[in-house]
Amino acid sequence: MLRFDTLIIGSGLAGLSLALKLADQQKVAIVTKKTMLDGASAWAQGGIAAVLSPEDSVEEHIRDTQTAGAGLCDPVTTRFVVERGASAIHWLINQGVPFSKEDNGGNDYHLTREGGHSHRRIIHATDATGKAVQQTLLEKILAHPNVTVLEHHIAIDLITGKKIGIPDQRCQGAYILNTAKGEVLTVAASNTVLATGGAGKVYLYTTNPDTATGDGIAMGWRAGCRVSNMEFMQFHPTCLYHPHAKSFLISEAVRGEGGLLKLPDGTRFMPWHDARAELAPRDVVARAIDYEMKKRGLDCVYLDISHQPESFLREHFPNIYARCLSLGIDIAKQPIPVVPAMHFTCGGLMTDLSARTDVNNLYAIGETACTGLHGANRLASNSLLECLVFAEAAAQDILGKPAPALTALPAWDESRVTDADETVVISHNWDELRRFMWDYVGIVRTTKRLQRAQHRIKLLHEEINEYYCNFHVTADLLELRNLVMTADLVVQSALSRHESRGLHFSKDYPHTLHEAVPTILYPAD
């Protein structure tokens, strides 16, 4: 049995930030399914939203967040996060993150603007902010003697008192599969943190990496945590449409710097849908693109920023420019074919302002959590900000209380399982799930489609549980099990909301109710 003060499951910005904040005083373990940079944080292009300009204000950032969130943002949480934005950015600067500066030779940082923002407040490192931040923090993590990194390890389930039959109901650690060796480790921890990201892979088309399989949300739900607002799955409006461009995002900042959305004949269409046009929040833009594509039978629409000089594009969007050029698209001369794709899970495990869940000594941070910040639709570039602020909040809570004694935990029991004889069941069910979620639980929904999805999820759930109980666990099986559980939570939440709000648009309930109320699901005892 491995023993740590704090076990962090996930290696995105939330997990790495928390580890650094704890490591001087605790023994910390970071568990990650693949390598340390294989999460959504490292893929983030646009940047981090914070009030850093004297022309901006906390009140305006709060108002923009609440407007994008369609009235469902928790006001206390929103203020809590926005007020701590500048200090979070300064912490990153002190760690050495190379944010882009103005090209006037001074020390001022370049701030860009994205959809839904009333000011330029997005600090960034060209168009690869997440990668720059993650690499900077990772260097410090790997050099710290108190941090143990377990790459190619996937969490199976949390260990609670209820799970192992003891009166102490707190979270006591987790069972972890070493995917390279096929061994299951028992990891005991005084505190356990779920920082596994979102659940984008529950959909056929997503901007998320392959690691985004809802693991933390599903594990927390099975352990007894409430989940909230799972119907609000954000579809990013502009994913590159090309057969060889898997999950490549075209940053919101391209529209922020003047990019225009057009039909194949060159006609702009966003002014028909919203007065803010291309700078409307993501839910508005994604629905507009979806509407135009379905109305006209289009495979994609086009994002045109060719009116900007090539030198400007190379400087501000070097990665997007290079990636498109490698596929034969010169964005300085021609528009970029784009389609919406699932991007961000706005709901998740319910937490308080210290990142605590309903289970004692279990925390959730980042996209795994539902803090109340995002409401019915996340404002662009608030996600990495949320990671930073709640990593700090969790660190303060963990370090500010006495650590409970570690309990001797039972080893993983494999005495009644065998090797699987037919792994095709997993790949088939994975494909079926992602396809019907895209068709039935996508940008525009109906009650009948949601009920069809729910029926198929029930059948998949039964098949997968039988498989899980009879065969040795594998990474593919664990991810599928978690995806089906997460899909079920999405559909349950969507069926319970009898209105259209933010990212949840129902043809059966097209109007928005006067009162904004979060969706909360309670696990069975």
Q: Of 223, 245, 109, 250, give the one whose Cα is nearest residue 158.
A: 223
pTM of the model: 0.92
Q: Are 345 and 482 in contact (CB under 8 A)?
A: no
Find out whether 343 and 234 touch, Cβ atoms under 8 Å: yes
Read off the pLDDT of each residue in 384-396 and give the average, rounded to a whole number: 98
Q: Which two tokens stand for residue 244?
A: 């060889």
What element of type H or E holds 79? helix 75-83
State the virtual CA torsion across 231, 236, 237, 243 in degrees, nearest 10. -120
Q: In the prediction, which pLDDT does 281 show?
A: 86
What is the C-alpha separation between 9 and 153, in angstroms, rounded? 10
Answer yes or no: is pLDDT of 243 > 90: no
422, pLDDT greater than 80: no
- Domain 233-343 coded CATH 3.30.70.100: no
DSSP 115: T
Sketch the domain layout of the chain as residue ranges.
2-231+346-399, 233-343
* Model confidence pLDDT, tens digit, residues 2-35: 999 999 999 999 999 999 999 999 999 999 999 8
Looking at the chain, the whole-number percentage of residues with pLDDT higher than 90 is 81
pLDDT for 186: 97
Q: Is the pLDDT of residue 144 over 80?
A: yes
Whether residue 361 is predicted with pLDDT greater than 70 in this model: the reply is yes
**Per annotation, catalytic residue among 84, 113, 282, 445:** 282
For the question of residue 282 being annotated catalytic, the response is: yes
pLDDT at residue 414 in the model: 86
Which pLDDT tens digit goes with each residue over 456-487?
999 999 999 999 988 899 999 999 999 999 99
Using H for helix, E for strand and C for coil, what is the string for 388-438? HHHHHHHHHHHHCCCCCCCCCCCCCCCCCCECCCCCHHHHHHHHHHHHHHH
- How does the average pLDDT of the chain come out, rounded? 94
Instruction: Report CA dihedral (224, 374, 376, 358) to the nearest 10 degrees.
Output: 10
Q: Average pLDDT, stretch 383-411?
A: 94
Q: Are 312 and 175 in contact (CB under 8 A)?
A: no
Architecture of domain 2-231+346-399: 3-Layer(bba) Sandwich (3.50)
* Residue pair 459/432 in contact by the 8 Å Cβ criterion: no
Asked if the model's pLDDT at residue 407 lies above 70, the reply is: yes
CB 41 within 8 A of CB 387: yes
Q: Give the pLDDT confidence of 46-74 residue by residue, as tens digits.
A: 899 999 999 999 999 999 999 999 999 99
Please report the pLDDT score of residue 525 as a whole number: 64
- Summarize the confidence of residues 397-404 as an average pLDDT: 94
In terms of C-beta density within 10 A (0-12 exposed, 13-18 middle, 19 or more buried), how is residue 510 classed? Answer: exposed
